[in-house]
Amino acid sequence: MALASGVRFAARALLRPWALLRGTTLGRTEPAAGGGGDGARRFGSQRVLVEPDAASGVAVMKLRNPPVNALSLELLTELVISLEKLENDKTFRGVILTSDCPRVFCAGLDLTEICGRNPAHCAEYWKAMQELWLRTYLSSLVLVAAINGACPAGGCIIALSCDCRVLADNPKYRIGLNETLLGIIAPFWLKDTYVNTIGHRASEQALQLGSLFPPAEALQVGLVDQVVPEDQVQSTALSEMARWLAVPDHARQLTKNMMRKATADRLLRQRDADTQNFVSFVCRDSIQKSLQAYLEKLRQRKG
Ligand SMILES: CCCCC/C=C\C/C=C\CCC/C=C/C(=O)SCCNC(=O)CCNC(=O)[C@H](O)C(C)(C)COP(=O)(O)OP(=O)(O)OC[C@H]1O[C@@H](n2cnc3c(N)ncnc32)[C@H](O)[C@@H]1OP(=O)(O)O
């Protein structure tokens, strides 16, 4: 698809400067425990584990950046690269995104990447965040989020950019965009994604209040498509995947593109300005103070 290859090109251009990733071992392939043939070989990187099943054309991609899968620059980069690898391999038609960390799907932005960092680092970090969103939101693959833990803010961004969301029924696993409670603001493209998913009024309310929805409410508002017992998240995600894969790829992909292109284009048109806004916003003294205070609170709150 022309758009997808355009984004792919942009991703490659953007990714080049990150070649010197700290401690990254990309492209490693190893047999899965107890696995045998090609379909059981897994690959990935330090922070993203990919379990491909060639027979079904579905890969399970697990975030593993303990303790809470905070979106560090490395994790963002490794997610983009792993997804690109699967997109370039015609064997694969779908990806299930899930967490390898207990109780947390993804804690959102790694606040240590934007607290006390210089503007150049914050800019590099935000570009990586934009890239992951563009890459997932416009992916030609079917993406199903198997949300097996808490899913605030940036975690919710990842889930929202998938085609379908299955959430484990545990009251501790709340999902939503809680940015305002940290004294920060969701960027326009994230707001757009929220509105596209749950509608204008519900987004207006949830964004201002920084609502984190427990499973039943998340289902009711349309933030997730299914809520199931924790031990059925993976199997339900696979059933959902089968439903989406029953549709011919070209028709589904063109329809996805038709539904999402305008939202993505809005960011593509003003990506640099969005980065500058982010940097000047988070580097303000007052915002740095709120982020530091929030991090401190998180560190003191145990259990
Ligand atoms: C006017 C101009 C406008 C311009 C606007 C432009 C741009 C907009 C600006 C910003 C947009 C940002 C969009 C996205 C934002 C985000 O994602 S912000 C991050 C939000 N995330 C959260 O609020 C989640 C915080 N974490 C938690 O609530 C919990 O940790 C949990 C995920 C529910 C898990 O709980 P639990 O299992 O109990 O684990 P702990 O709380 O004990 O945490 C373990 C350690 O992990 C550290 N940690 C947790 N979250 C983060 C994080 N997000 N970043 C970094 N570190 C994190 C926590 O401090 C613990 O560390 P220690 O073990 O104590 O060292």
288/100 Cα distance (integer angstroms): 30
Query: Active site includes 257?
Result: no
Contacts of 68 (CB under 8 A, 6+ apart): 101, 104, 106, 107, 150
User: ipTM for the complex?
Assistant: 0.96
Catalytic one of 75, 97, 109, 190: 109
Query: Active site includes 154?
Result: yes
Of the chain, the percentage scoring pLDDT greater than 70 comes to 86
* Nearest one of 62, 174, 71 to 113, comparing CA atoms: 71
Average per-residue pLDDT in the chain?
89
Task: Please report the pLDDT score of residue 24 as a whole number.
Answer: 37
Tens digits of residue pLDDT in 215-270: 999 999 999 999 999 999 999 999 999 999 999 999 999 999 999 999 999 999 99
What are the structural domains, with CATH classification, of the chain?
43-301 (3.90.226.10)
Kindly list the distances between the CA atom of residue 45 and the CA atoms of 65, 97, 160, 249, 266, in Å, as whole numbers in the listed order: 11, 15, 24, 28, 31
Q: How far is the CA of 295 from the centre of ligand 1 (A)?
A: 7
Contact (Cβ atoms closer than 8 angstroms) between residue 253 and residue 1? yes
Q: Letter for the amino acid at 273?
A: A
Query: Active site includes 223?
Result: no
Contact (Cβ atoms closer than 8 angstroms) between residue 97 and residue 145? yes
Tens digits of residue pLDDT in 59-71: 999 999 999 999 9
| CA-based end-to-end distance of the chain | 47
Backbone angles phi, psi at 103, to 5 degrees: 70, -10
Tens digits of residue pLDDT in 13-43: 344 333 323 333 344 444 443 333 344 467 7
Tens digits of residue pLDDT in 160-213: 999 999 999 999 999 999 999 999 999 999 999 999 999 999 999 999 999 999
Task: Please report the pLDDT score of residue 303 as a whole number.
Answer: 53
In a 10 Å sphere around its CB, with 0-12 CB exposed, 13-18 middle and 19+ buried, how is residue 25 labelled?
exposed
* Nearest one of 144, 242, 129 to 187, comparing CA atoms: 129
Inform me whether the pLDDT recorded for 3 exceeds 60. Answer: no
Choosing from 280, 298, 300, 302 the residue with most ligand 1 atoms within 8 A of its CB, the one to mutate for a pocket test is 298
